[in-house]
Structure 1
Amino acid sequence: MAKKGRSPSPKSARAPVRPSAARPAGPAPSGTAAAPTRHAVRPRRSTYIEAVVIYERGLEALQRHDFQVAADLFESVLRQYPEEKELHERVRLYLNICQRQAAPREAIPQTLDERLYAATLAINGGNYDQAIVNLRLVRDEDPDNDHALYMLAVAHAQRGDLAEALAHLERAITLNPENRALARTDPDLEPLRGNETFRTAVDTAAGSRGVDRRRLVRTRFTR
């Protein structure tokens, strides 16, 4: 029996390819790097350039240790260019350095008399710590200097160090009994007056020597 031949199957029809529609312009999809946008560089103000020139001159003067000239230049930047705020912080930093270096420094006392005088000024000004520093130097160099010991008693009494004050006062009176009469009426020793040790020290009969009035004047602190 003859086989019937298969009729060829029709090929599946392919859908026509449509051209893709043009994408509308818009932001790039997520994950796609956008092209960098160039910003115009803002030019520096002419005043900024002028201020920097003066600032650099100030730095040069500072490096030469010409502190007063440098300070004047830095101050002129602050005064003449108030709008240059970004420069002011650095200017003020160096200006403070110049002002500290240019400030006159007090001469350091070297001799016993200079230290005693400096201590007297310090006590009169209420700077008892500085007075004690100078007086201890005198005491270390001249342990029997009753003037320095008496002033140490005053400085410690005013600072509230009563035990230290009494010890120095007793030593000063032992070395020179004239200090007893001075201590009786000295207002700078007022913090000690309620202390029994103080009363005993100043009420004890004075030695055979009379009180030297010139010394009383010298040891008082003129306020």
Structure 2
Amino acid sequence: MAKQRRPAPRSTKARAHPPSARTAREAEAAEPPPPPPPAPAPPRRSTYFEAVAVYERGLEALQRHAYQQAASLLESVLRQYPEEKELHERVRLYLNVCQRQGAQRETAPQSIDERLYAATLAINGGQYDQAIAHLRLVRDEDPDNDHAIYMLAVAHAQRDEHAEAVAHLERAIVLNPENRALARNDPDLEPLRDDEAFRAAVDAPPGFRSDRRRSVKTRSAR
């Protein structure tokens, strides 16, 4: 007896239908419209270029370290061109620089003692350029100030400028021989220890000690 074939089971999955034209139109309608193009930048005011010209003159004065003139020009930008807000931020930045520099000049040391003290603070703070500037002013005013010249040797030694350091040290020793003994054990002159010129400068010349003892005996004999 022949077997009967069973009918194949029908799939229960729904067939995917292509989207209708109506569905596509609805999807397009749901998408947001593209953003509008950016508005063109407003034209520059004529006062803007005038303000920039004054601002640039202020920067030129600042570069020349004419801080009062620079501050006056920059303040005029704020006062005469209040509508130029985007320029004001830069103006205020450089105004602060002028005020800081002007305050430093007002408190700058004037006397020899003040400059020596300022140079000492600068060396202790590692600001050797500033120390050298103070000490040169002292040297110009008092060329035989051995303390200032010795400190110049220290400042140049800390900057690894051996030739300048040794030259100042030799001069300081000539002006005051006690600087020779001071230099031998001065840790601030440590960068010069291996320099032959430095060793020659701090080595006592022949007869130096005996001459000093002889002079002491002579004074005591009197």
- For residues 86 and 127 of structure 2, what CA distance do their matches in structure 1 show? 35
The answer on whether the counterparts of 2:158 and 2:188 sit within 8 Å (CA) in structure 1 is: yes
TM-score of the pair, normalised by structure 2: 0.52
**Aligned partner letter, 1:136:** R
1:74-119 C-alpha deviation (Å, 9 max, x unpaired): 9xxxxxxxxxxxx763231122133223336221221111111111
- For residues 179 and 172 of structure 1, what CA distance do their matches in structure 2 show? 7
| Aligned residues between the structures | 137
Unaligned runs of 5+ in 1: 1-40, 42-62, 75-86, 210-223
TM-score of the pair, normalised by structure 1: 0.52
**Aligned partner letter, 2:177:** P
Which contiguous aligned blocks of 4+ residues in structure 1 show a shift greater than 4 angstroms?
A: 63-67
In structure 2, the residue matched to 1:189 is 189
Unaligned runs of 5+ in 2: 1-38, 40-70, 214-222
- For residues 186 and 170 of structure 2, what CA distance do their matches in structure 1 show? 15
**Aligned partner letter, 1:141:** E
Secondary structure class of the residue paired with 1:164: helix
Judged with a 3 Å threshold, the aligned counterparts in structure 2 of structure 1 residues 93 and 159 are, in CA distance, closer, same or farther, namely same
1:144-184 C-alpha deviation (Å, 9 max, x unpaired): 11001100000111111111100110111111111112111
Q: 2:97 aligns with which of 90, 95, 100?
A: 100
In structure 2, the residue matched to 1:141 is 141
Summarize the alignment of residues 50-129 of structure 1 with structure 2, pairs less than 5 Å apart: 89-103=86-100, 105-106=103-104, 107-129=107-129
**Aligned partner letter, 1:92:** E
Secondary structure class of the residue paired with 2:103: coil
In structure 2, the residue matched to 1:208 is 212
Which structure has the larger Rg over C-alpha atoms? Answer: 1
- For residues 143 and 188 of structure 1, what CA distance do their matches in structure 2 show? 23
Judged with a 3 Å threshold, the aligned counterparts in structure 2 of structure 1 residues 89 and 66 are, in CA distance, closer, same or farther, namely closer
Higher helix share: 2
Q: Percent of aligned positions with the same letter in both sequences?
A: 62
CA RMSD, 1 decimal:
3.5
